[in-house]
Amino acid sequence: MLSILFLQSFFWPGSVFAQETLVDQVVAVVGKNIVLESDIEKQYLQLKMQGEIQDDKISSKCQILETVLFQKMLLNQAELDSIEITDGQIEQEINQRLHYFIAQIGSQEAFEEFYGKTIPEFKEEYREEVKQLLLVQEVQRTLNTSVDVTPSEVKSYFRAIPKDSLPLINSEVTIGQILKIPPVSLKQKLAVKENLRNLRKRILQGESFSTLAILYSEDPGSAKKGGELGLYGRGELYPEFEAIAFKLDRGEVSEIVETQAGFHIIQMIERKGEYVNVRHILMRPKVAPEDFMNAKLELDTVARLVRNEEITFDDAVMKYSDDPGKNNGGLLINPMTGTTQFEANQLEPSVSFVIDKLRVGEISNPVQMQTEEGQDAFRLLYLKIRTLPHRANLEEDYSRVQDWALQDKQVEAYRDWIRKKARKTYIKIIDKYKDSCTFDNEWFPDN
């Protein structure tokens, strides 16, 4: 089956095999786009390293080739449709991927040493590949928007699954929250700004920015590195931070900058084109103890109102929560799946500890937490749904079955699209693969 998750086969640049020199030749042509032996080999080695290949080598490479053929067909269509991708889109995609891989390797320096290239050199090398990826994604998005499933199609899809083939669904929970972020007083903000002014004065008088960052910065990620952030492009930092950082000269120290994370002073290390590497010292105003306690007391009152059924949880979310995402009923989103369902091992330990003690429909006492920006806060947790382990069924798993049915219908739409486009597109596959592969799609429909 042609996987609709084919875009994962762009293994840029995660494979250690990407540095090896592979014997190369053209194995296929789709329109004006070629497929190289190295395209197949690198993806095969990557999948093997990840333990995702279970069958024989030839069969796996045939599946990879078919996936790449589909990518090239989509790219060919993007060229025919004159789809445009902006430099900003390319830059954003590259930066997102770079940050992921740098985090996996450990540091920017380790990344550059591993690949033998600086970050700007790496970005330039992969710019065209990322542009092609975005073009392919745009055509796929257009194809996907034309496919939908009706409730009757979902039911028919489910009824067609053999009973003994229905997957086992683990226990899952759906959790809501009411978030309260205690306000920071003007007095606390002024105290932090005064501390940063004193640090800035010491730096201008000759003390080391790096040393003071290690001693005083409240950014745990950069403090141990002397406040150094590494190279960032436009659009990747807080707007207020970025506006100042890009104006600094080498070695220059900024005035105090306020962002969502707190207050900063910034020092320019270097600028490379549209990228800057800076140091910063971050300080966050502390919530006054009385304001912190008031936030907890307010949530105690809200919890009591919900328990006494004087207000519904949904209404309490809209009236009292400081969560910017509260319009979805305050439901937590699982970052691994994008849904509101969590298996036990997908919950933060602090959340799991509280939820385990709740029955469905119960609300917790206030729980202390930190927001993504590092702000101290409290929240109430509400157990909306808890399912038991079970075989998939329409009552409990309708949205999941709907996704399966949609994916199945999308695959069929792709097959139909490939068959139609293949009649009008020049396609050639060398005998080595054409003779040994059994493809799922009709790449030569008129033969």
User: For the chain, how many structural domains are there in total?
Assistant: 3
Domain with 347, as residue range(s), is 171-184+288-388
- The CA dihedral of 241, 243, 248, 250, to the nearest 10 degrees, is 60
Does the pLDDT value for residue 47 go beyond 90?
no
The CATH number assigned to the domain holding 110 equals 1.10.4030.10
The answer to whether residue 441 is domain-embedded is: no
Indicate whether 213 pLDDT > 60: yes
Same domain, 12 and 137: yes
- What does the pLDDT read at residue 13? 55
3-state DSSP assignment of residue 158: helix
* 206, 256: one domain: yes
Residue 356 confidence class, pLDDT cut points 50, 70, 90: very high
Please indicate, yes or no, whether residues 333 and 217 belong to a single structural domain of this protein: no
Q: Is the model's pLDDT at 104 over the cut of 80?
A: no
Write down the pTM of the prediction. Answer: 0.66
Q: 269 and 321, same structural domain?
A: no
pLDDT tens figures, 311-328: 999 999 999 999 988 989
pLDDT at 374: 73
Q: What is the pLDDT of residues 281-296, one digit of tens each?
A: 999 998 888 888 999 9
Question: Are the beta carbons of 445 and 423 closer than 8 angstroms?
Answer: yes
Give CA 317 to chain center in angstroms.
Answer: 26
Q: Report yes or no on 16 lying in a domain.
A: yes
Backbone angles phi, psi at 379, to 5 degrees: -150, 155
Among residues 120, 131, 108, 101, the alpha carbon closest in space to that of 13 is found at: 101
Q: How far apart are CA 420 and CA 175, in angstroms?
A: 46
More confident site: 173 or 327: 173
Handedness of CA 329, 335, 338, 343 (dihedral sign): negative
Answer whether residue 17 is part of any domain.
yes
Q: Are residues 177 and 312 in the same domain?
A: yes
**Alpha carbons 114 and 106: distance in angstroms, whole number:** 11
Q: Are residues 15 and 66 in the same domain?
A: yes
DSSP state of 335: T
Whether residue 12 is predicted with pLDDT greater than 70 in this model: the reply is no
What contacts 343, CB < 8 A, 6 or more positions away? 170, 171, 172
As given in the structure block, the two tokens for residue 23 are 């014997």
Pair (130, 62) in one structural domain: yes
Under 8 Å between Cβ of 188 and 288: yes
Asked whether residue 255 falls in the same domain as residue 129, the answer is: no
Asked, for residue 128, whether it belongs to a domain, the answer is yes
CATH code of residue 175? 3.10.50.40
Kindly indicate the confidence band of residue 409, based on its pLDDT and cuts at 50, 70 and 90: very high
> Is 365 a member of any domain?
yes
Instruction: Indicate if 372 and 237 belong to the same structural domain.
Output: no
Please count the other Cβ atoms lying within 10 Å of the Cβ belonging to residue 66. Answer: 23
Model confidence at 123, pLDDT cuts 50, 70, 90, reads: confident
Q: What local confidence, expressed as pLDDT, does residue 56 receive? A: 62
d(CA 198, CA 43): 54
Q: What is the largest CA-CA distance in the chain?
A: 80
Establish if 156 belongs to a structural domain. no
* 228 three-state secondary structure: strand
Are residue 271 and residue 365 in the same domain, yes or no? Answer: no
For 321-329, the CB contacts below 8 A with 24+ separation are 321/177, 321/178, 321/179, 321/180, 322/179, 322/180, 322/181, 322/377, 323/177, 323/178, 323/179, 326/179, 329/176
User: Which residues touch 176 (CB under 8 Å, ≥6 apart)?
Assistant: 313, 317, 329, 330, 331, 332, 381, 382, 384
Backbone Cα Rg of the chain: 27
Q: For Cα atoms 406, 73, 437, give the angle at the middle one, nearest 5 degrees.
A: 85
Instruction: Give pLDDT, residue 247.
Output: 93
Q: Is there a domain that residue 439 lies in?
A: no
Residue finishing a domain among 283, 301, 334 = 283
* DSSP per-residue string spanning 254-300: ---EEETTEEEEEEEEEEETTEEEEEEEEE-PPPPHHHHHHHHHHHH
* pLDDT, position 165: 93
pLDDT at res. 15 = 45
Residues 335 and 361 in one domain: yes
Say whether pLDDT at 23 is over 70. Answer: no
On whether both 10 and 42 belong to a single domain, the answer is yes
